[in-house]
Amino acid sequence: MKADMEELYRSMARIRFCEEALANLWQRGIISGEMHLGVGEEAVAAGVVAHLEDGDALALDHRSTPPLVARGVDLVPLFLEMIGDERGLCRGWGGHMHLFSREHLACSSGIVGSSAPLGAGFALAAQYLAPGKVAVSFFGEGAANQGMLLESLNLAVAWRLPQVFVCKDNRWAITTRSRSVTGGDLLRRARSFGMPACRVDGTRVEAVWEAAGKAVRRARAGRSPSFLLASCPRREGHFLGDPLLRVYREPLKQTLEIGPPLVRSLLSRPLQAFALRPLYMGIIGKTLTVLGIEKFLLEPDPLCRAARLVPDDVRRRIDQEAREEVERAVSAAMERGKRHA
């Protein structure tokens, strides 16, 4: 079977426009709290979710909207939920980190790592109640150091669960370079549990689709769980208003805020540590530099990459349709929200 590029592109475009709409609502103060966007993860979400069918399950992390949009969750209740409306997907109780759609067997959690054991539970239930159905868990490379996630990898193999673990490797966990706190290599780590694992370029939707297809078929046939390590960029920082990105976006203001206390620390007691402090300052500087280089020089846009694989006129039509669909949903949600308030 060959990837239907038009459908994959449509799915990605819908995700992107939804994320952009969320960013706008958040910026205007209509969405409260944190807002972790999945901009950059469109290819992973679209490429994996394309293989799911009715009865398959999804366990998601704090970037849950892309897979939900790809899965076909109604956009109006989704946006209503994000703005905290009582007629939202979760009646205003869940919000962006805790979106649930029972109809789609899809849940999300803000507790890093928990999508793995919850997904294992979905997969376990499928063994009894719906043989041939599968569960997919999405999580980040930072979550791959969480105990319950590692236990789930073992559980999935021990119980031969129809589960696919999708690790979105954006190399960062908030302000931490994940490599600096991770032993060994995640692919080898997953394989050491006894399940097939493969690395895939998560900015290329056709590659994700191909790899996810194999993993999902393996799970459906009850042969084995699988692990997919998909690299992808973190284009909007950890969350909107990311303090590290702010250093680049408003350098003067940030220097004035962060600078003076840092200088005071440089000059503080105990003075025997004084000589080493420039080195410590350098460690912070290096993190910021790496982030800046990645952000402004290296980050590919998965949507642009997918766009190249679709004829121009088709792409334009899809863009327009997806944009209109999202705009309509946002207006409907805002309208209903207002009428209710």
Partner 1 sequence: MPKMTFAQAIDYALGEAMARDERVVTFGEDVTMLRRNLFVRFGPRRVRQAPISEAAFLAAGVGAAMAGLRPVVEIMLVDFIAVAFDALLNEASKVRAFSGGGWNVPLVVRAACGGGYGDGGQHEQCLWGLLSAMPGISVAVPSNPADAAGLMLSAIDSDDPVVYLEHKLLSDYWLDYLGGGSRGTVSFDVPREGAEGEVACPPSPVPIGKARLVAEGGDLSLFSLGVGVHRCVEAARSLAERGIASEVIDLRSACPLDTELVTASARKTGRVLVVDEDYIAYGLSGELAAVLAEAGIKADFARVCSEGAIPFSRKLEDEVLPNVRRITEAALRLCEGRP
Nearer of residues 218 and 336 to partner 1, judged by Cβ? 336
262 binds partner 1 (CB under 8 A): yes
106 backbone dihedrals φ, ψ, rounded to 5°: -125, 130
40 binds Mg ion (CB under 5 A): no
| Residues from 165 through 204 that contact Mg ion (CB under 5 A) | 170, 173
| Closest separation in Å from C-beta 300 to Mg ion | 16
Residue nearest to ligand TPP (CB): 140
In the stretch 127-146, what mask flags binding to partner 1 with x, by CB under 8 A? ---------------xx-xx
Give the span between the Cα atoms of 335 and 332, in whole angstroms: 5
Nearer of residues 101 and 178 to ligand TPP, judged by Cβ? 178
For residue 23, the partner it binds in Mg ion, ligand TPP, partner 1, none, with Cβ less than 5 to 8 A by kind, is none
140 binds ligand TPP (CB under 6 A): yes
| Residues from 46 through 105 that contact partner 1 (CB under 8 A) | 81, 84-86, 90, 92-98
Nearer of residues 101 and 137 to ligand TPP, judged by Cβ? 137
Q: Which two tokens stand for residue 129?
A: 């109640």
Segment contacting partner 1 by CB under 8 A, of 46-54, 108-116, 130-138, 295-303: 108-116
In the stretch 194-233, what mask flags binding to ligand TPP with x, by CB under 6 A? ----------------------------------------
DSSP string, 218-268: HHHTTS--EEEEEE---TT-SSTT-HHHHHHHSHHHHHHHHHHHHHHHHTP
Segment contacting Mg ion by CB under 5 A, of 3-11, 136-144, 145-153, 157-165: 136-144
85 binds ligand TPP (CB under 6 A): no
62 binds ligand TPP (CB under 6 A): yes
334 binds ligand TPP (CB under 6 A): no
Segment contacting ligand TPP by CB under 6 A, of 74-82, 107-115, 221-229, 255-263: 107-115
Segment contacting ligand TPP by CB under 6 A, of 42-50, 74-82, 168-176, 203-211: 168-176
Of the candidates 327, 85, 73, the one whose C-alpha atom is nearest the C-alpha of residue 95 is 85
| Closest separation in Å from C-beta 258 to partner 1 | 8
300 backbone dihedrals φ, ψ, rounded to 5°: -80, 155
281 binds ligand TPP (CB under 6 A): no
Residue 40 CB partners (closer than 8 Å, separation 6+) = 170, 203, 232, 233, 234, 235, 236, 299, 301, 302
User: Do residues 105 and 58 make contact, with C-beta atoms less than 8 angstroms apart?
Assistant: yes
| Closest separation in Å from C-beta 100 to partner 1 | 12
Residue 263 CB partners (closer than 8 Å, separation 6+) = none
**Residue 197 CA: distances (Å) to CA of 75, 119, 135, 153, 212:** 33, 17, 16, 11, 11
Which residue shows structure tokens 């076909």? 72
| Closest separation in Å from C-beta 258 to Mg ion | 23
Of the candidates 21, 14, 13, 19, the one whose C-alpha atom is nearest the C-alpha of residue 38 is 19
Label residue 96 exposed, middle or buried (CB < 10 Å: 0-12, 13-18, 19+).
buried
100 backbone dihedrals φ, ψ, rounded to 5°: -130, 135
Instruction: Count the site residues for ligand TPP by CB under 6 A.
Output: 18
Cα 305 from chain centre? 18
DSSP 270: P
Contact with ligand TPP (CB under 6 A) among 92, 110, 121, 213: 110
Give the span between the Cα atoms of 38 and 18, in whole angstroms: 10
Give the span between the Cα atoms of 66 and 46, in whole angstroms: 8
Residues in contact with ligand TPP by CB under 6 A are: 62-63, 110-112, 139-143, 168, 170, 172-174, 178, 234, 238
Residues in contact with Mg ion by CB under 5 A are: 140-142, 170, 173
